[in-house]
Amino acid sequence: MRRMLKNCYRGAKRRFWRLPYKQYREVEWWQHDIASYVGWYTGKIPSLYGIPAPTPAMKVKGADMRESALLTWIDVMQDSYPTRLAVPRDYFRGQRILDVGCGPLPLALGFTGCDIYGVDQLIHRYKRLGYPIEKFSSRMRYIQSSAEHIPVRDHAFDAVISVNAIDHVDNFAAAAREIARVLRPGGIIRMQVHYHPPAICEPWGLDDEIVLKHFGGLGIRRVQEHVADVHERVMGDGEKLVVWSNRD
């Protein structure tokens, strides 16, 4: 009975959001995460994804508790993307970069001296959940679109990055073609790719063969591999994170 009621409630929420099931589950995950960030900010959650709750000196003040928590998390996580992609923060200096699957938190702001764009098909949904996207930073410009159909001209970006997100796309081959289209000739591609069994929100069971089949034309190669993420969150058996790039 409890499971039936839970499924009925979830179905009603999904109809409210008017989303395909996969996108609904992604929105549901990010909605839950807001409460986690607030709990981390207030100290009720002593550690979130391996990051200790902030001290008073670390806290950024926003318009309300939720905004304060999100702004503080972004500030604390400035080194997250550079660390995950195994490059220094000024690696993309002077370039225009695109973050594929950026999510509601502009962690690509960890890169300095560059113009940053983020593409995600759920941007408007993140706003409805309460993520104050417009208040985070004017350095991050958002494109509401899927990775399979990015509404920009050919060769628009000097670099394309993706951090533990490319496995979320609906059509991996189409996303790879679109990334190749928007990247200028000789541009940099650098991705952290999560290898895992297929799941609802991450439908692709990726491996070296699949990645090379679709991105090999860009000259990518393995740069780094590890079996826990940057925050030491333990993954399942056989899971790993692999950094791919066409540059050292």
Instruction: State pLDDT tens for residues 37-80.
Output: 999 999 999 999 999 999 999 999 999 999 999 999 999 999 99
Range list of H helices, the chain: 2-17, 21-42, 65-76, 80-85, 123-129, 133-136, 172-182, 208-215
Mean pLDDT (the chain, rounded): 92
Residue whose token pair is 């003040």: 61
Question: What pTM did the predictor assign?
Answer: 0.90
Q: Residue 161's pLDDT is what?
A: 99
Whether domain 80-245 has CATH 3.40.50.150: the reply is yes
pLDDT > 90: percent of the chain: 86
Asked whether the predicted pLDDT for residue 185 surpasses 60, the reply is yes
The domain segmentation of the chain, as residue ranges, is: 2-76, 80-245
SS3 state of residue 33: helix
129-178 residue pLDDT tens:
999 999 999 999 999 999 999 999 999 999 999 999 999 999 999 999 99
Q: Residue 229's pLDDT is what?
A: 60
SS3 state of residue 181: helix
Q: Residue 248's pLDDT is what?
A: 86
Residue 92 and residue 111 in contact, taking contact as beta carbons nearer than 8 Å = yes
Beta-carbon neighbour count of residue 144 at 10 Å? 15
Q: Residue 3's pLDDT is what?
A: 52
User: Among candidates 223, 58, 71, 50, which has minimal Cα distance to 134?
Assistant: 71
